[in-house]
């Protein structure tokens, strides 16, 4: 009985460890799709806006290589610390951690060949200001990938976001309309992982 209990305990610990590792890593298939849609190459400069714990920033940094650069932006102090800790732990010397604001990415003008917003846009409390900040950060012909999900009315709307968000998330049609009003044009509209949608934009020519 004792041996069986120990075996079950070991298996449970192994399962928990596996789940933790999976949660701390980026899905490789999704990552490859991001690289393809944003046309990311070695030497590129990419921004991960709303980088969370930084795992996507570090994964993209591996793709652009030491001659490239990744800006990992966040507004939450705890998240900024998580990103800095991950960057230091994984030796990602080509990642720059940037503190943003509710109305600004904090990115330099014309710095980016590509920008990724993954499940971030629907949290914007000042979408117009953020759109302008994103536009300024993009170089000519640079691409912006927005991954998000349609409104989930059973979840509360995030604090401070516009009332047009009727729940947690944002309707794809509304997001596209807001971006087009801000001077972007839609390049691609795709179904994404876990029921999300993916929209690729560039500045309107």
Domain borders along the chain are 26-203
Identify the pLDDT of residue 26: 82
Say if residues 135 and 162 touch (Cβ distance below 8 Å): no
Identify the pLDDT of residue 9: 36
Distance in angstroms (rounded) separating the CA atoms of residues 122 and 197 = 13
Distance in angstroms (rounded) separating the CA atoms of residues 98 and 5 = 48
Place of tokens 């230091």: 88
Blockwise average pLDDT, block size 10, the chain, 205 residues = 42 33 69 97 98 98 98 98 98 99 98 98 98 98 98 83 90 97 98 95 93
Radius of gyration of the chain (CA): 19
**CATH number attached to the domain at 26-203:** 3.40.50.150
Identify the pLDDT of residue 205: 83
Instruction: Report which DSSP code applies to 90.
Output: H
Identify the pLDDT of residue 156: 79
* Bridge partners (DSSP) listed for residue 104: 101
Give the pTM. Answer: 0.86
Helix (H) or strand (E) segment spanning residue 202: strand 197-203
3-state SS assignment for residue 129? helix
Distance in angstroms (rounded) separating the CA atoms of residues 29 and 136 = 30
Token pair of 46 as six digits: 């990419």
Say if residues 121 and 168 touch (Cβ distance below 8 Å): no
Say if residues 142 and 112 touch (Cβ distance below 8 Å): yes
Token pair of 8 as six digits: 């079950």
Q: What is the pLDDT of residues 139-183, one digit of tens each?
A: 999 999 999 999 987 777 888 999 888 889 999 999 999 999 999
> Pairing mode, if any, of strands 184-191 and 95-99?
unpaired
Neighbours of 173 (CB within 10 A): 9
Identify the pLDDT of residue 3: 52
Identify the pLDDT of residue 29: 94
Identify the pLDDT of residue 54: 98
Identify the pLDDT of residue 167: 87
Identify the pLDDT of residue 153: 76
């Amino acid at each position: 009985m004792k041996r069986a209990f120990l075996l079950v305990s070991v298996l449970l610990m192994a399962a928990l460890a596996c789940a933790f590792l999976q949660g701390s890593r980026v899905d490789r298939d999704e990552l490859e799709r991001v690289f393809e849609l944003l046309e990311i190459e070695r030497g590129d400069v990419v921004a991960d806006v709303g980088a969370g714990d930084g795992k996507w920033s570090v994964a993209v940094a591996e793709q652009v290589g030491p001659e490239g650069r990744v800006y990992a932006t966040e507004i939450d102090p705890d998240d900024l610390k998580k990103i800095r800790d991950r960057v230091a732990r994984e030796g990602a010397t080509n990642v720059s951690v940037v503190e943003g604001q509710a109305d600004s990415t904090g990115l330099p003008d014309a710095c980016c060949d590509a920008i990724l917003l993954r499940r971030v846009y629907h949290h914007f409390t000042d979408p117009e200001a953020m759109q302008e900040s994103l536009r300024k950060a993009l170089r000519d012909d640079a691409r912006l990938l927005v991954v998000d999900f349609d409104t989930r009315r059973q979840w509360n709307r995030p604090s401070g976001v516009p009332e047009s968000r009727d729940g947690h998330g944002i309707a794809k049609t509304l997001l596209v309309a807001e971006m087009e009003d801000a001077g972007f044009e839609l390049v691609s509209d795709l179904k994404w992982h876990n029921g999300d949608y993916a929209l690729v934009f560039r500045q309107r020519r």
